Amino acid sequence: AELREGDPDFCQQMAEIFAHLDDSRRPVSLPLDLQGTAFQLQVWQALRQIPAGETRSYRQVAEHIGQPRAVRAVAGACAANSLAVIVPCHRVVRE
């Protein structure tokens, strides 16, 4: 999402981001303009579904998106994630 100080929604959007930083269990509902391949977008959507306080392995994420042999590609998509605060790649760990 592009935030501009003059935007009337700026304060509300920033408040939502700061609330999420204070409590990662609180979802972020901002419209996101994620740029990536179809596969990366699929992985990033799966990451956003992992509840706060829980982890998944790269293998589990690959299986969740229906591509069980794409474990390394899932790791690559996690590494390419530029919005780690909102797309929680830190919840994915090695087995």
Residue 63 sits in a domain whose CATH number is 1.10.10.10
Same-domain pairing of 86 and 69: yes
Q: What is the pLDDT of residue 86?
A: 82
Residues 24 and 49 in one domain: no
Contact between 58 and 75 under an 8 Å Cβ cutoff? The reply is yes
Residue of 89, 93, 94, 95 marked active site = 89
Range of the domain at 14: 1-31
Q: 71 and 43: one domain?
A: yes
Task: Give the tokens for residue 67.
Answer: 């591509």
User: What is the C-alpha to C-alpha distance for residues 16 and 44, in angstroms, rounded to an integer?
Assistant: 20
Q: Is 11 a catalytic residue?
A: no
* Stated pTM of the model: 0.77
Q: What is residue 47's predicted lDDT score, i.e. its pLDDT?
A: 95
Average pLDDT score over the chain: 87
Kindly report, residue by residue over 41-82, the tens digit of the pLDDT.
999 999 999 998 899 999 999 999 999 999 999 999 999 998
Query: Whose CA is closest to 30, among 13, 10, 6, 11?
Result: 13
Confidence band of 3 (pLDDT split at 50, 70, 90)? low
49 with 66, same domain: the answer is yes
Secondary structure class of 56 (helix, strand, coil): strand
How far, in Å, CA of 33 to CA of 56, rounded? Answer: 25
> Do 43 and 71 have their domain in common?
yes
Q: Give the total number of structural domains in the chain.
A: 2
Phi, then psi, of 56 in degrees rounded to 5: -135, 155
